[in-house]
């Protein structure tokens, strides 16, 4: 199986932060980052970092620990990621 993944944009991640009504520090904790300054590297600056699929997947899975893999992937898509699974 192959996976085509395009990460959410910095604007998508900022929208998630606003929707969840969390601070930058809380978002950093959710994504397993060292602190707010690390979170900002994904949401701004001249060259923001792309959010990896494993990092995004884990953060979304921790939001609902009873969710199936397909449900977590859908949550990732709702954040703004493009995920295509190829069964070949």
Please enumerate in sequence order all residues whose Cβ is within 8 A of that of 12, keeping only pairs 6 or more positions apart, or say none: 79, 80, 81
Torsion of CA 56, 60, 62, 65, to 10 degrees: -140
Written as six digits, the tokens of 2 are 């192959």
CA gap 86, 84 in Å, rounded: 6
pLDDT of the residue at 30: 94
Q: The whole model's pTM is what?
A: 0.90
Are residues 7 and 78 in contact, defined by beta-carbon separation less than 8 angstroms?
no
pLDDT of the residue at 79: 96
User: Which domains, from first to last, does the chain contain?
Assistant: 2-86 (1.10.260)
pLDDT tens, N- to C-terminus, the chain (88 residues): 789 999 999 999 999 999 999 999 999 999 999 999 999 999 988 899 999 999 999 999 999 999 999 999 999 999 999 999 987 6
Written as six digits, the tokens of 36 are 């707010």
């Amino acid at each position: 199986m192959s996976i085509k993944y395009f990460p959410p944009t910095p604007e998508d991640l900022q929208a998630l932060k606003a929707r969840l009504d969390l601070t930058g520090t809380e978002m950093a904790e959710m994504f397993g980052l060292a602190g707010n300054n690390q979170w900002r590297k994904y949401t701004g600056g001249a060259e923001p970092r792309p959010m990896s699929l494993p990092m995004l997947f884990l953060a979304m899975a921790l939001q609902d620990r009873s969710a199936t893999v397909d449900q977590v992937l859908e949550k990732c898509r709702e954040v703004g990621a493009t995920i295509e699974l190829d069964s070949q």
